[in-house]
Structure 1
């Protein structure tokens, strides 16, 4: 069997060590007998020198990245740079994009997530066409990968899609806040009223491996209220080795998907034991610790 390793972003001040944010997972991996290596995240994001970004990876085999978010194109650069060192990312660039960008996963989860439309690009005309396609009423705005939910009233929530100028002001503010990180185009999602905090579920090889709180509310215990099994038939066709699905309870009691993401770049809340995540990954490779 090929060697399996975990890759983490290097600490900016101590480049031979994983970034402190991921240090607990790196320690858990070493404890499980899984090799650990670091990559230079800043170099990867810049796109300037992917080969130098992975220079510290000296073991060949299969790799799982656990780190900060990467644009899909930069993830493809990472895959190419690692391939030159005889390392294959477990999640292919195609699979990463499918999980990382909403248009890649929306159709599979349409029945369990708010109705959505999107644009390609950030033009007003395309935005207005999408706005009209979704219809009137409130909506939530984001780009293909992320919202500005911490700026809810100015850059995320649109009270009424029928008011084109007011809706565009929200879109313009989102563009301003996301700057160079704006990805793909606008996504308009029909507003649904949720109650309580979100739950983050972790999926490995099509099965739910962990259920825990969302990183925004790490102290809220809702995991025992959710049976994620209803999602399995919807997630399996996406063919994602490692993903997360965030859910929230609708006011009518249903669990609804708020977001699907690639598990490699999904934050682990402190309430989730790092060894539990590492062990779940190890089991997927037949390396149960």
Structure 2
């Protein structure tokens, strides 16, 4: 079993410090640790990214734990490692299904706010956007790209009070596009805004914090359910029902992924988003050792 971590760009012989605890856990359970050059992978040079990975005599299972890559860049890395008989747990199609919301949507549509999207190839003219938003009537929306939102710029580049207000839609979209620039992920996603139960405010940004949890799933089995924010803020809170999480997870075509869920202010639960398990961050209070052990045994 191999765990592939990002190497430290300032000290290439060592893994990124952010993954130190996971590296220690992997070595403690007897797994092999290899280092990848994330910058090279992100720039489209998977051969250089995997230069330190030796070719194996037989196909060997592996898990990547590192920074995000775009689906095309991940596909390149997957092929390069496969050529060295190192097989990552999720293939390129599975990675994409959990990385881009439009690709995730079919699996979670019955459990997540209604969403529509516009790919950049269609253009972002206001008429095109407003036609796509007709399904929402005058309901409030949040805006994101295929991967992330700008919640820290809530009023300027995230929240739209009414889907039918063309002027407001235009202002928020323009601000979002300017802010994202070349970092825009594929296109725009508009999601129906729903009120979530609160656990406080972010100590630095002042952003309201919803009662969110991150579930880690391996081969359909929910390994851990961890409060997304500071665990102390969740005093007295009840985690999402295990049966519901398992039912949602069963519809996701990926071996290893994360499932972010939140409690509605009115009660009940929604899925916020999926994430590929190899690039999803782990909350500080996650049981890293147990997760790495489960991956080492099951991947």
Give deviations 1:255-282, integer Å, cap 9, x for gaps.
1111111111110111112202202212
* Other-structure match for 1:78: 77
Unaligned runs of 5+ in 2: 199-210
Task: Say if 2:218 is the partner of 1:204.
Answer: yes
How far off its partner does 1:82 sit?
0.9
* Other-structure match for 2:53: 57
Q: Is the 8 A contact 1:206 1:239 kept in 2?
A: no
Matches within 5 A, 1:34-183: 34-47=31-44, 49-58=45-54, 60=56, 61-121=60-120, 122-124=123-125, 125-183=127-185
Unaligned runs of 5+ in 1: none
Cα 1:59–1:213 change in 2 (3 A) is farther
Q: Hey, what's the Cα distance between the residues in 2 that align with 1:57 and 1:30?
A: 17
* Cα-Cα RMSD: 1.7
How far off its partner does 1:5 sit?
0.8
Cα 1:253–1:184 change in 2 (3 A) is same
Task: Say if 2:29 is the partner of 1:32.
Answer: yes
Q: Is the 8 A contact 2:3 2:65 kept in 1?
A: yes
Match of 1:243 among 223, 248, 257: 257
TM-score by structure 2 length?
A: 0.89
TM-score by structure 1 length?
A: 0.92
Task: Say if 2:249 is the partner of 1:253.
Answer: no
Match of 2:4 among 7, 18, 28: 7
Q: Is the 8 A contact 1:208 1:229 kept in 2?
A: no
* Other-structure match for 2:205: none
Q: Hey, what's the Cα distance between the residues in 1 that align with 2:252 and 2:170?
A: 33
Match of 2:191 among 189, 192, 196: 189
Task: Say if 2:276 is the partner of 1:262.
Answer: yes
Once the two structures are overlaid, the 10-residue window that deviates more, 128-137 or 30-39, is 128-137
SS at the partner of 2:87? strand
Q: Find runs of 4+ consecutive structure 1 residues off by over 3 angstroms.
A: 216-224
Q: Is the 8 A contact 1:67 1:264 kept in 2?
A: yes
Q: Is the 8 A contact 1:9 1:41 kept in 2?
A: yes
How far off its partner does 1:217 sit?
3.8
SS at the partner of 1:225? coil
